[in-house]
Each structure stands twice: as C-alpha cells, then as structure tokens.
Amino acid sequence: MLPAVNSIEQRRRRISLALAVLLLVGGCDRRTQTNQQSRPQSREASGLQTLTGRVIAIADGDTITILDSANTQQRIRLEGIDAPESHQAFGEQSRLSLSEMIFGKDVSVSYQKVDQYGRLVGKIILEGKDINLEQVKAGMAWHYKFYEDEQTPEDRELYDRAEAEARAARRGLWQDPNPTEPYQFRKEEKRERQLSR
C-alpha cells in the first residue's frame, strides 16, 4: 500500500511541476508579446514602417528624439548618413543645422531597423523633404557607405551625388581639406581609451 501512495504523490509532483513550467513559459511569452507591441519591430520582422511625431531633442547631426502620438519618446538614428561627433570638428555646426531644419516640428520617419542601441534607423521626412539628404547636401554629414546596402538604389545615388557636390563646393565640413570621417574618429578614440588603461 505504501508504494502506491508514493507513486501517486510522485505523479502529483510531476503534474504540479509541469503546470508550473507551462504557466512560467506562458507568462514569459505574454510579456515578450507585450514588449514587442510597445517597441517598434526590427527590419527582419516587419519591413518598412512609418512613425510620426514632434522632434523634441537633437543629440547631434544624425540622432534625434521624437515624441510620438502615444506620448512615447523614440530615438532616431538618421539612415544613410554619418555626421561628425559632437566633440569633433563641425560636430556642433552639424547638430545646429539639423536643429534649424526640424526641431519642434512634426516629422515622419520611415524605418525598417532598430540598431544595437535601441534607436530606430530611418529617413526623416518634413513637408516632403528628405532631411537626411539635406544634411549631406549642406556638407554637414557624409553619405554612410558602410550601411548603404540598407538604402534603396535611388537613395544611394542621390546621397552619393549630394556628397560629391558638397565636397566640390567646399560646403560645411568640406571646408577642411582633409576631414576625418566620424567612423574613423570613433575608432581612433576607442583605441586611445584602450591604450590609456
């Protein structure tokens, strides 16, 4: 009689354990779904998406924050361009250029990717104008060729041409005969930090 009681008790424990695991997995799955609904999805999961909002902050010449219709702040990294870092030559001018164009205004953002820092990577449109391209035209950013495969062929061509024209006219950062690309600037800063440890 005792072995039968142990067998029943073992079955109850297994069933309780199985139920606990199912509840835990179900709860985690629901939390994941909720987080995915409140956070814009990545390019792989969703394709091109659009978001609108008011520009409330300009971090530098290629990063902004908007307040969307749900009163949620969204950080945006401008697709296809790389602006000077804020403490780099022309960094402040680049930030001011972007600020003068869009700060406090309602913009549309077309995006299909979230970067490693949680920022949406997209094209900013104001009154039908591609603001990312305007930064390149003004000589306030490079066409970011490292990520050009994420652009449409038409945008790649437009951004390339805009950079070449700004360079030839010596607009903005092109006044410097040999400006350092932000990517290279960040790489050198990282190397210097590592050497100083």
Q: What residues act catalytically?
A: 77, 85, 119
Beta bridge partner(s), residue 120 = 76, 114
| Identity of the amino acid at 94 | S
Beta bridge partner(s), residue 111 = 49, 122
Q: Quick one: which of 83, 60, 98, 95 has its CA closest to 180? A: 83
Cα gap 183→88, rounded to integer Å: 11
Cα gap 192→172, rounded to integer Å: 27
Give the strand pairing for 73-78 and 120-126.
parallel
Stretch (H or E) spanning 67 = strand 63-68
Give the strand pairing for 129-130 and 73-78.
unpaired
Give the tokens for residue 62.
């290629």
Q: Quick one: which of 152, 159, 110, 102 has its CA closest to 131? A: 102
